[in-house]
Chain A
Amino acid sequence: NAGVTQTPKFQVLKTGQSMTLQCAQDMNHNSMYWYRQDPGMGLRLIYYSASEGTTDKGEVPNGYNVSRLNKREFSLRLESAAPSQTSVYFCASSWYRQQETQYFGPGTRLLVL
């Protein structure tokens, strides 16, 4: 039981490049989330998926897109990376709603030059 896994662990991009961050969970959770963590800002919600087939914007969605590929997988895409997107990205999941305990992956460190 791996819990929540994320790939890659670390990535360096040049401004304007695109990439997809992958997330998978093996706990049969319905809801999945993407957060970013920046110094002094705490964690902020980018997008979430309450259930398979649905996605909704969080607090800071601009510059990102998401895909809930199936119940297990939730990907985050940066179409044209900007230096302001340098951050640590965390994926999380919960049984059903945001109001329940969320379980986090180990994070992806992204540096945009």
Chain B
Amino acid sequence: KQEVTQIPAALSVPEGENLVLNCSFTDSAIYNLQWFRQDPGKGLTSLLLIQSSQREQTSGRLNASLDKSSGRSTLYIAASQPGDSATYLCAVHNTDKLIFGTGTRLQVFP
């Protein structure tokens, strides 16, 4: 059974820092992996989707990497800003479903 883990559960950093969020999964037979952002009381916003054949994807200050063999993905956020404060969720696409991690709650303080 696929399990997705995100560590740490919470992270607090000063503005301007570069940071890395981690996601690990137990079954490497995935179609792709998706990173989402969730603001308090809101829905999920898709940030990046990495196909299983890809190693990384970039969007602005965000860079996501995927290492299927080790069952890991990282989300790198460059030059963090207070507006980046949110919960970040990773999810892996298995054959017929999307399996979510429980998220990392990020706070960026001025």
Residue numbers of A with Cβ under 8 A of B are 4, 33, 40-45, 48, 56, 58-59, 90, 92, 98-107
Q: How far is the CB of B4 from chain A (nearest CB, A)?
A: 8
Residue numbers of B with Cβ under 8 A of A are 4, 31-32, 34, 36, 41-46, 49, 89, 91, 93, 96-98, 100-103
Q: How many A-B residue pairs have CB under 8 A?
A: 51
- If A43-B89, A59-B97, A99-B32 touch, does A106 touch B102 (CB 8 Å cutoff)? no
Question: In the bound complex, do residue A98 and residue B43 qualify as a contact, i.e. CB atoms below 8 Å apart?
Answer: no
Which of the listed residues A48, A58, A104, A106 has the most CB atoms from chain B within 10 Å of its own CB? A104
B interface, over-half SS: strand
The answer, among B4, B46, B102, for a CB contact under 8 Å with A101, is: B46
Q: How far is the CB of A42 from chain B (nearest CB, A)?
A: 4
